[in-house]
Structure 1
Amino acid sequence: MELFEELQWRGLVNDVTSPDLENEINNGELTFYIGTDPTADSLHIGHYSSLLMAKRLQKHGHHPIMLVGGATGFIGDPKATGERSMLTPEVLAHNYEALHRQISDLFGFQMVNNLDWTKDLSIIDFLRDYGKFFNVTYMLNKETVKKRLESGISYTEFSYMILQSLDFLHLLEEYNCQMQIGGQDQWGNITSGLELIRKKKGADVKAYGLTMPLITKADGTKFGKSESGTVWLDPEKTSPYDLYQFLFNTEDAKVGEYLKKLTFLTPEEIDDLEKQQAEAPHLRPAQKALAAEVVRDLHGQEALDTALAITEALFRGRLQELTPKQRHQAVAPMEKMEIAANLPLEDVLVQTGIAKSKREAREWTKCNSIAINGVKVTDPMHIVGADDMYADDCVILKKGKKNQYCLHLV
């Protein structure tokens, strides 16, 4: 299949601004851009599909530009739920530098900062040269703005679409950038940019927009959120092991979609994995492939090997085989149960609610059902203290074959 058809098969095309774009993507050499604002010092897994979209197009001869919004970050893209908190210049500068390094290291894309062409723009020039081309009624009809009219929207956030439109015009003029790509929630901003280009450069200028469906979980919530928080691309914020576990725990109903959107596996390979998944869902072949592909692509084979080693050690109870660094990765994402140090094991089991009574705790312990850090403990009066700490002041306690707990000793 041709490239545009494959993008549709992968579920990466929500809408396009012109039917001509299919031919341009299949046969042209477009310069295009994807933008993000430096609201944090790392991208998260929810951004990953967009970045892979850029790589897919790049592999077929198109040229990606990654825009990190040093200027638009000061303003904030309007959310449907309310005003954003404004970040300080120092935080924005730190976040910009962090994202610049991350994107350059991971993907090698050409990088631009919209602060470079807006920082010296006077308010008079902004209103005369750009604001004059935006009809307020047109702006009010944009979906996100309409959602905010009842609760209220500041003029600052209302003006965001003008700044983003200015970006598209500038990149067209400076780099012959003919296409902007964004999530489906960016449709209003993208079409506003095209409208500005049409009014400033003429209707014959070739410029396009493409939006991608937002990736969600089966319950409709945002993809990239876990019980412990956002899943980041920075391995210092989300370890490769934690990322592997997040993807390994993907719902069966969504794993096929994620394989299409988040990996470079071929249609044939994905079809085969979906068949394996249907035949043996308990073995989770599709989830294993998804987790392995993403971790390897982002962090390399060594990081994937570490994630697999930690997973195997936790599953098999061979916790003593892990290095100190691997132990830290294993413990970091676990839900912690705080318990005082230097208590007898039977008291620990009762106070954490793992056992209902001391009698039950003693029975489990004497029957070889309790392990601390992978080692069986048969003495219910064993003192759980400093000598038992596995990593980060934590002890990993296992009851039976499946119930595992992370105890934080305080």
Structure 2
Amino acid sequence: MSNALLDDLEWRGLIAQSTDRKELENALSKPISLYLGVDPTAPSMHLGNLVVFLVLRRFQLAGHRPIALVGGATGLVGDPSGKNDERTLNEEKLVAEWVSKMRKQVEKILDFKDKDTSAKLVNNLDWTKAISALELLRDIGKHFSVNQMLAKDSVATRLSSTGISYTEFSYQVLQAYDYLELYRRDQCKLQIGGSDQWGNIVAGLDLIRKVEGGSAHALTVPLLAKSDGSKFGKTASGAIWLEESMTSAYEFFQFWLNSDDVDMPKLLKVFSMKNRAEIEELIEKVKTNPGAREAHRELAREMTAMIHGSAMANSVEEAAKALFGQGEIGDLDLKTLDSALSQLPKTTIKKGDPYPTWVDLLTATGVVESKSAARRIVKEGGAYLNNKKVESEDFTPSKTDLLHGKYLLLRKGKRDLAAVEVQG
């Protein structure tokens, strides 16, 4: 079990660093408890968080007991990021709200029902709030070497530029204390995290050894980047979030569907829960028939179903087809249509105002630079309203063309879409 799991993680490119491989294999030869922490620095987790949580899920599927820690305490302090400024310290009430939101997201990723490997959710505020500053300094702080703390990359970077507050400097003490507490409470023997967390995790191992005379393990996951070196999980409009109000289910689906072919082998290995043979078959299809985008669609379905549910995944896939004339757009419900059109170039009409021509509307969305360019599209047969061809340069939509009494869908050629919304 242990070799197969670690070998699979290695094949997927999901191991950056680990403690002694042989000792880790021995520890994993029987079920253990392991944990992953995430701080509520926003109302939602993003795709970078999902990378590591899926590794936690893989451990669970291999028979281990996952602990998901949402940092109600560490989220109040802030982990130094290596950037040249301090994180914003959020109010305790706001952090508590974000903790609650993240708990719901974690419940979509891990299994909390399986009797033998049931996942557990914890909040480090539960044990941190009970310890006084004096207790933390006397019982925990005495085990930390300032020299080692200063050597941490993110700390060293800040010291060489703008400096660092004692608040952020002490973050690694709190994270190490979390590992110690979970070691005591749940016999937790492994912490996983992003590769930027290696120093914090190792500090926890040292603390366990010094305080309890025990041993535990660490494993980190590489920070994912696109083939062009840019940060993964970012689009022109910002990060891809797991919270639907921040990234719509349609946009989430489209992110995977529109991913670069060059990135698809890596994305399949990192995100898909399919086995190696299934993934290699999809990778081969990317090479032999990239235009079909079969691998992209499979990954989009799998990820959207996991985060937003199977029904929503089916709904947004049908919406994507309908937007491009491969389905009946009038059959889409309003919620799905809202989601599908939310990211398109858009212009608005006030309710009761006369409707402009199709040419005027397309120009107003910014999809074309001028009305003459829009007229040329009509002449060339590439103009569509709600997937029906526009034959005349003077064509003007009417109220009866509105989808759900609210939208018009404009299309230029095969792929360029824009929306018109009637407001008021």
The residue correspondences of 1:99-138 to structure 2 (distance < 5 A) are 99-107=102-110, 108=112, 109-138=119-148
Separation of aligned partners in 2, 1:125 and 1:337: 60
Separation of aligned partners in 2, 1:3 and 1:249: 30
Separation of aligned partners in 1, 2:369 and 2:237: 27
Separation of aligned partners in 2, 1:50 and 1:183: 7
- Counterpart residue number, 1:300: 309
SS at 2:254 equivalent = helix
Decide which of 186, 207, 219 is 1:196's aligned counterpart: 207
Task: Say which is worse superposed, 239-248 or 296-305, in terms of deviation.
Answer: 296-305
Task: Say which is worse superposed, 277-286 or 185-194, in terms of deviation.
Answer: 277-286
Decide which of 159, 162, 177 is 1:149's aligned counterpart: 159
- Counterpart residue number, 1:13: 15
SS at 2:246 equivalent = coil
TM-score (norm 2): 0.89
Task: Say which is worse superposed, 13-22 or 59-68, in terms of deviation.
Answer: 13-22
Separation of aligned partners in 2, 1:38 and 1:356: 42
Separation of aligned partners in 2, 1:357 and 1:98: 45
Post-superposition CA distance 1:275-330 (Å, at most 9, x none):
11111112222212211221223333322211221121122264223222221121
User: In the alignment, does 2:87 pair up with 1:79?
Assistant: no
Percent identity of the aligned residues? Answer: 37
Whether the 8 Å CA contact 2:362–2:410 is kept in 1: the answer is no
Per-residue deviation at 1:21? 3.9
User: In the alignment, does 2:322 pair up with 1:309?
Assistant: no
Task: Say which is worse superposed, 46-55 or 166-175, in terms of deviation.
Answer: 46-55
Per-residue deviation at 1:350? 4.4
Post-superposition CA distance 1:82-134 (Å, at most 9, x none):
21011111101111112223323542220111111111211111111111111
Task: Say which is worse superposed, 266-275 or 217-226, in terms of deviation.
Answer: 217-226
- Counterpart residue number, 1:346: 359
Per-residue deviation at 1:167? 0.5
- Counterpart residue number, 2:338: 328
Separation of aligned partners in 1, 2:405 and 2:274: 38
Task: Say which is worse superposed, 389-398 or 88-97, in terms of deviation.
Answer: 389-398
CA gap of 1:385–1:158, structure 2 versus 1, over 3 A, is farther
Per-residue deviation at 1:332? 1.6
Q: Please provide the CA RMSD for this pair.
A: 2.4
- Counterpart residue number, 2:382: 369
Structure 2 residues not aligned, in runs of 5+: 113-118
SS at 1:20 equivalent = helix
Equivalent residues, number: 408
Letter of the structure 1 residue corresponding to residue 311 of structure 2? E
User: In the alignment, does 2:239 pair up with 1:230?
Assistant: yes
SS at 2:34 equivalent = strand
User: In the alignment, does 2:405 pair up with 1:405?
Assistant: no
User: In the alignment, does 2:223 pair up with 1:214?
Assistant: yes
Separation of aligned partners in 1, 2:253 and 2:400: 30
Whether the 8 Å CA contact 2:378–2:393 is kept in 1: the answer is yes
Letter of the structure 2 residue corresponding to residue 375 of structure 1? K
CA gap of 1:176–1:352, structure 2 versus 1, over 3 A, is closer
Decide which of 3, 6, 16 is 1:4's aligned counterpart: 6
Letter of the structure 1 residue corresponding to residue 288 of structure 2? E
Structure 1 residues not aligned, in runs of 5+: none
TM-score (norm 1): 0.92
Decide which of 167, 188, 207 is 1:177's aligned counterpart: 188
Whether the 8 Å CA contact 2:386–2:409 is kept in 1: the answer is yes
Per-residue deviation at 1:77? 0.7
Whether the 8 Å CA contact 1:2–1:26 is kept in 2: the answer is no
Per-residue deviation at 1:385? 6.5
- Counterpart residue number, 1:246: 255
User: In the alignment, does 2:329 pair up with 1:319?
Assistant: yes
Separation of aligned partners in 2, 1:100 and 1:268: 33
Whether the 8 Å CA contact 1:164–1:189 is kept in 2: the answer is yes
